Amino acid sequence: AQSVTQLDSQVPVFEEAPVELRCNYSSSVSVYLFWYVQYPNQGLQLLLKYLSGSTLVKGINGFEAEFNKSQTSFHLRKPSVHISDTAEYFCAVIGPVGSYKLIFGSGTRLLVRP
């Protein structure tokens, strides 16, 4: 069965510093990959998605992610974070392509400090 690993449960970073949130998925079959952000007591908002094509995906709020098939990774990056980026970030996968089920990682809490 498909699974998603987010190794870092919490990532503290200073404001304006770069950040990378790591995500690895288990399967080598064709997959769709997503990053969602969740602010306290709110639902999930899509940051970006990889369905096919260019391996570098740009999303909202200045985030981007790179799909690496050989390493089965989909790490999320931002060159300069803001206090308002403090939130929980979930990596998720649908796989194989055509499946309905969105499998989430355990989440990474990004804590941006002034």
With CB under 8 A as the contact rule, which of the stretches 14-22, 30-38, 58-66, 72-80 interacts with other proteins? 30-38
Site map 32..71 versus other proteins, x via CB under 8 A? x-x-x----xxxxxx--x-x--------------------
Measured from the CB of residue 107, what is the shortest distance to other proteins in angstroms? 6
Cβ nearer to other proteins, comparing 13 with 104: 104
Helix, strand, coil percentages (3-state) for the chain, rounded to 5, are 5, 50, 45
Q: Are strands 87-94 and 108-113 parallel, antiparallel or unpaired?
A: antiparallel
Buried b (16+ CB within 10 A) or exposed e, 41-71: eeebeebbbbeeeeeebebeeebbbbbeeee
Site residues (CB under 8 A) for other proteins, limited to 78-107: 90, 94, 97-102, 104-107
In contact, 75 and 19? CB cutoff 8 Å: no
Q: What's the closest the beta carbon of residue 18 comes to other proteins, in angstroms? A: 25
Note the residues at the interface with other proteins (CB under 8 A).
32, 34, 36, 41-46, 49, 51, 90, 94, 97-102, 104-107
